[in-house]
Structure 1
Amino acid sequence: MSNFSTSISVLIGNLPPLVRAELVRLLGSEPAWQVVPVQPARGTVAAIARQYRVDLVIADESGMMELAELAQIHPVPVVLYSSFSLGGARLRQATRWNVHDYFGPWVPQDSPAYVRWRLRLLQQLRAVVLQAGPAPQVLPIARQPTSLPTGIVVLGGSTGGSAAVEKVVSQLLPSNCAILVAVHLPALFTQTLVDRLHRVTSLPVVSGETGTSLTAGKIIVVPGGGNTSIRRGTGSPWISWQTNFVAESNPNSTMPSIDLLMQSVVQTTGRPTLGVILSGLGNDGTEGARAIRQHGGRVVVQRDAAVTAMPQAALHAGCADKELLLRDIADYINQFALQARPGRRLVSSFSHAEQL
């Protein structure tokens, strides 16, 4: 660590933009503090902390999933910023990842209480660094939390749907949403669709076998030859959601079922959900769209579909919010992803994911 008599180096994580800017300004004006001049992207906190050999990391509760990695490769004290109280058992759970204290909510500079609050915060941060003891024992990798998505997008289609999905995915921006893709295809063609999507996007694209975790920014193509639902993750104290693939023997049913996938998403995750029904025969997706809207989500259907049956079925059933041209659907998804902001949680199932 740095010599405390000269300066304390600090890495400020992905706090709310206004809070982060104010904290950078506050610490940057103090001779005793050296702020790392890099804003880490999601998933890079540990690497940057090690690169700059920082003495302290300041994160918010949404970055808890990165702290296990940080404690493993560069164990330094962590202070959390939170708009809510983090006392009691929830803060004690966080100490296993070197979380020593928390502060918040932020006091505006024009508040009469700001000067006293600012001094107390500086003393608090310095005390954490000076008093930090040996790093606690790191939990096994299998028990680390995953990066939960802030929202879920389900793309469903059948005949003509693969080309439509490819067009939409090619225009998606990185986000904190998980993207699920369900197209009526034989099992042998699942990897072909995965490969096609790999060629048009830099986002991670995987096949959703049983146990594939829904994580922020990942595209999961559910396999043909069976149905996929979303279930609560098992084998870890941390909340997670996983795909559950079930092969069925009936070759005449439309698989994977878009209805089943959409219904299980809203029933299991509770996250803001957007359903997108693209080109295809039949009416699969209509009941799933109904479930999404009943749970407060949104549904859009493709106006210029090569095969109009599926999108029109949802539209005529009153289960769609908008009918959009294919070229406009990706922009709609990108806007949805920006707005998908569920309440922040410390996602340990030991505390039943209580709202902070």
Structure 2
Amino acid sequence: MMQKKIRVLVIDDSHFVRTMLTEILTCDDIEVIDTANDPYEAREKIKELNPDVLTLDVEMPKMNGVTFLKNLMRLRPMPVVMVSTLTEEGAPTTLESLELGAVDYFAKPKQNLMENLPLYTDQLREKVRVASKANIVATSVKKHSVGKNIGKKDIQYRPNILVAIGASTGGTEALKEVISNLPADFPPVVITQHIPPVFSSSFAKRVDQCSQMRVFEAHDGMKIKQGCVYIAPGDQHLVLKKVNYDLFCQLLDTPPVNRHRPAVDVLFDSVAELKGRHAIGCILTGMGNDGAKGLLKMKEAGAITLVQDEKTSVVWGMPRVAYEMGAADKVLPLNKIADQIIHFSALPKKA
């Protein structure tokens, strides 16, 4: 029996890019059923052809991709991969599109598009395959719980506790939900999110704006302090380094692990080794298996381990592998994770 092909509509104002994306995406399991050069044409073709996945350019005339996406997710939620140029200036717009419900984004190379775009063939096809299976309900659910723990007072935290979180596809929004619900004086949090280099700084600033804790893109040698969150920069692994009694961020340019740099496993291995039972590990939504082995190491070292459940994950890949490996103490919906992290970080109240 032949596998049903993933039917894609490519939306881009450049004829050249439409042609290139069509050639790149067309393969055994993906079919580009049509293209559109602006959102108005796209709207008619979506009604007529009912595609499985859209690729959507961010910058277009008549109506930009983000405005179109906002309307689309309100009226007809469906899997969308945003196509943007990989620049720091464009990062906030791309992150906004994930906030609005896009499953993922593909960053076009800035120079020599004709030569460089085909180098990303496997990456783009994989993003479309993941998008076709993504949980669109999870991407489009509006967050109503942000800030529910901000007023929590008089919590005594376990000495030396640290929280480590890993995420990938769908993780930028899931992380915001978790971090924005942690109190200002909460123990330190270290994070690896799969993200390109020029996006990680914008992402850290975005999370910082909606959080009581202070959120930073990690820099080499940064001291790890209470009330602070440290996010691995794109293209560098984040690990912990102990000097006397203090912990510091250390960044590594060592090879990718599980095809990723930063990799969740690299961070979790470091946390397991240096923090052991004084840690909490958590894997949120994401494609693949990165973090599962590291979470198991954390659990074996005495840490408490959590994973996000299938229903609220955009892609239940990384959490599923960790769960099936026996690495998770608890499987939780996204809106319960911050509460549980606080619960496990706190000292028991005296009777």
Aligned length: 190
> Residues of 2 paired with 1:269 and 1:245: CA distance?
18
Give the match for residue 301 of structure 1: 307
Give the match for residue 340 of structure 2: 332
- Where 1:253 maps in the other structure, the secondary structure is coil
Deviation, 1:195, is: 1.1
Q: Which runs of 5+ in 1 are unaligned?
A: 1-147, 342-356
- Where 1:196 maps in the other structure, the secondary structure is helix
> Residues of 2 paired with 1:175 and 1:314: CA distance?
29
Aligned to 2:270, which of 247, 264, 270?
264
Amino acid aligned to 1:307 = V
Deviation, 1:266, is: 2.2
Between 325-334 and 238-247, the greater mean CA deviation after superposition = 238-247
Amino acid aligned to 1:152 = L
Give the match for residue 15 of structure 1: none
> Residues of 2 paired with 1:302 and 1:252: CA distance?
20
Residues 205 and 216, structure 2, Cα contact 8 Å, conserved in 1: no
For normalisation by structure 1, the TM-score amounts to 0.50
Deviation, 1:269, is: 3.3
Amino acid aligned to 1:158 = S
Amino acid aligned to 1:185 = I
Aligned to 2:319, which of 307, 311, 322?
311
Residues 275 and 292, structure 1, Cα contact 8 Å, conserved in 2: yes
Amino acid aligned to 2:344 = F
Using the aligned pairs only, state the percent identity.
29
The answer to whether 1:160 aligns with 2:166 is no
Residues 237 and 263, structure 2, Cα contact 8 Å, conserved in 1: yes
Report the structure number with the largest CA radius of gyration: 1
Residues 149 and 214, structure 1, Cα contact 8 Å, conserved in 2: no
Amino acid aligned to 1:205 = V
Residues 152 and 271, structure 1, Cα contact 8 Å, conserved in 2: no
Question: Residues 20-78 of structure 1: CA distance to partner in whole angstroms, max 9, x if unpaired?
Answer: xxxxxxxxxxxxxxxxxxxxxxxxxxxxxxxxxxxxxxxxxxxxxxxxxxxxxxxxxxx
Give the match for residue 292 of structure 1: 298
Change (3 A) 1:214 1:319: same
Deviation, 1:174, is: 3.1
The answer to whether 1:182 aligns with 2:192 is yes
Alignment of 1:140-151 (within 5 A): 150-151=160-161
Give the match for residue 215 of structure 1: 225
> Residues of 1 paired with 2:218 and 2:196: CA distance?
14
For normalisation by structure 2, the TM-score amounts to 0.51
- Where 1:225 maps in the other structure, the secondary structure is coil
- Where 2:322 maps in the other structure, the secondary structure is helix
> Residues of 2 paired with 1:179 and 1:227: CA distance?
15
The answer to whether 1:281 aligns with 2:287 is yes
Question: Residues 239-283 of structure 1: CA distance to partner in whole angstroms, max 9, x if unpaired?
Answer: 211111112465982121111101111212346111110010110
Give the match for residue 328 of structure 2: 320
Amino acid aligned to 1:216 = Q
Q: Which runs of 5+ in 2 are unaligned?
A: 1-157
